[in-house]
A = this chain, B = another copy of it.
Amino acid sequence: MTKEAAGRARPGRTPVPAGRRARPRQAEVARLAGVSQATVSLVLSGRATATGRPISEETRKKVLDAAHSLGYVPDPAASRLAAARNNLLGVYSFTATFPTDVRHSYYPFLVGVEQEAAAQGYDIVLFTGSSSGGAGAAGAGALNRVRLADGCLFLGRHVPVDELHRLVADGFPVVHVGRRDEVEGLAWVGADYVSAGREVVTALTGLGHRRILLVREDDDAPASTDRERGFLDGLTASGLPAGPNAVVRCGDPRREVTADRVRAWFADGVTAFVAEETDTGAAWRALRSAVAEAGLSCPGQVSLALLGSPPPDLADGPVPMGFDIPRPALGAEAVRLLASRIGGGAVGSTLVACTFRPGATAGAPATP
């Protein structure tokens, strides 16, 4: 007899008839296997064998067979609610993950994320953040959806600091892809632009260059700051002055890096130019065409380098000296860090090394 008096109509939701349900539940597996629902849970979660729980091999097999034949898959919401875990990793981008303009896409990161997540036994939930209007879009509480997963990766240039901080403060495992210091307690993985930038400069000084100019855009993203730091470190390490006139900041490289100015710099003794990679590749684009327009040969008269990868539409040109950001590796490392945080690991951020690319745009400076 059930615990409530029979025959009296009582409040509460009426159960869903098992007939019309697309997804089988543990109770159905249990029925089929002829065991209790709890036993099914024990067997399927692996907690039986793991914790040395006593489950007979026969029962195990019956349960597994039944589960398989029904196509049972645990409900992530229920698992999460009961056990606070469901083997789901979230990925949340503050801009569309698959933008129409492939240039700013997070695709290369996802390659690594996907692989490493699979290796660690997680499935990936792409939280459709700011892709467009709609239910899940911006607004307070948008980030809250990620709590369905065991932890979440965040990608993007602009971050809603407060909301993110709330997640972190609540102890929800979060890792940001890209260095990000403005959110307290936030773990991140970033590319080591400082070392990579230094390496490019020392490669140039190794070839004999003594006057090298950095062309960067005029914003203060961590990535830009780090690249400049590496550039200056490289100069210093080579015994060259790392003064402010080694760097040109320009709001609009196309207008400010002209053939005339390049000619003037060259006349002034500059033999190598370094551009930073940005979303649009504007600095590199401007530098390239200004040099060509100035009639200077590369790498004959001037050497060029790019702190990053060229934009896709310039992929056909000569491979620039510079470095590649190991985006898949960054994604994979982020997953590793997140998995560790989910497992109770400490907050720790990581830098991933970039790989130097000799390219074909740098050579020894012409001796005058």
Interface digits, A1-41 against B, CB 8 Å rule (1 contact, 0 not)? 00100000000000010001011000000000000000000
Q: Does any Cβ of B come within 8 Å of A126's Cβ?
A: yes
Do residues A144 and B74 form an inter-chain contact, with CB atoms below 8 A? yes
* Identical copies of this chain, number: 2
Q: Closest approach, in angstroms, between the C-beta of A355 and any C-beta of chain B?
A: 16
Contact B23 A88 (CB under 8 A): no
Instruction: For A73, list chain B residues within 8 Å (CB).
Output: 135-136, 141, 144-145, 147-148, 166
Q: Which of B110, B113, B125 contacts A123, CB < 8 Å?
A: B125
Cβ-defined contact, A76 with B71, below 8 A: no
Cβ of A343 within 8 Å of any chain B Cβ, yes or no, is: no
Q: Determine whether A340 belongs to the interface, using a CB cutoff of 8 Å to chain B.
A: no
Chain A residues numbered 131-166 whose CB sits less than 8 Å from any CB in chain B: 131-137, 141, 144-145, 147-148, 166
A68 proximity list for chain B (CB < 8 A) = 141
- In the complex the two chains form, what is the Cα distance from A78 to B73 in whole Å? 18
Tell me if B96 and A86 are in contact (CB < 8 A): no
A136 contact set on B, CB distance < 8 A? 73, 118, 121-123
Write the chain B residue with the least CB distance to A78.
Answer: B81
Number of interface residues of A (CB under 8 A): 65
Chain B residue at smallest Cβ distance from A87: B134
Complex Cα–Cα for A124 and B133 (A): 8
Partner-binding segment picked from A99-107, A218-226, A256-264? A99-107
Docked complex Cα distance between A76 and B115 (Å): 23
Residues of the B chain whose Cβ atoms lie less than 8 Å from the Cβ of A144 = 71-74, 76
A88 touches B100 (CB 8 A): no
For A293, list chain B residues within 8 Å (CB): none
Compute how far the CA of A97 lies from the CA of B107 in the bound complex, rounded to whole angstroms: 10
Bound together, the chains give a CA A86 to CA B127 distance in angstroms of 12
The answer to whether A118 and B137 touch across the interface, beta carbons within 8 angstroms, is: yes
Q: Tell me the smallest distance from the CB of A346 to a CB of chain B, in Å.
A: 15
Set of chain B residues within 8 Å of A96, measured between Cβ atoms? 111, 114-115
* A314: interface (CB < 8 Å): no
Q: A173 near B: Cβ within 8 Å?
A: yes
Residues B102 and A114 in contact, CB atoms below 8 Å apart: no
Q: In this complex, which of A121, A134, A136 has the most chain B Cβ atoms within 10 angstroms of its Cβ?
A: A134
**Chain B, Cβ-Cβ closest to A75:** B147
- Which residues of B lie under 8 Å from residue A3 when comparing CB positions? 3
Cβ of B71 and Cβ of A75 under 8 Å apart? Answer: no
Closest to A73 in B: B147
> CA–CA, A132 to B118, complex, Å?
6
In the complex, what's the smallest C-beta–C-beta distance from A181 to chain B, in angstroms? 23
Q: Please measure, in the bound complex, the distance between the C-alpha atom of A132 and the C-alpha atom of B119, giving whole angstroms.
A: 7
Cβ of A348 < 8 Å from any Cβ of B? no
Given A22-B173, A147-B73, A148-B75, A121-B107 contact (CB < 8 Å): no
Given that A141-B71, A144-B74 are contacting pairs, would A111 and B123 also be in contact in the complex, using a CB cutoff of 8 Å? no
Contacts A77-B147, A99-B111, A135-B74 hold; do A126 and B128 have CB atoms under 8 A apart? no
Known: A74-B148, A88-B125, A98-B113. 9 other contacts (CB 8 A): A75-B147, A76-B88, A77-B86, A98-B107, A99-B111, A118-B133, A123-B127, A123-B133, A126-B126
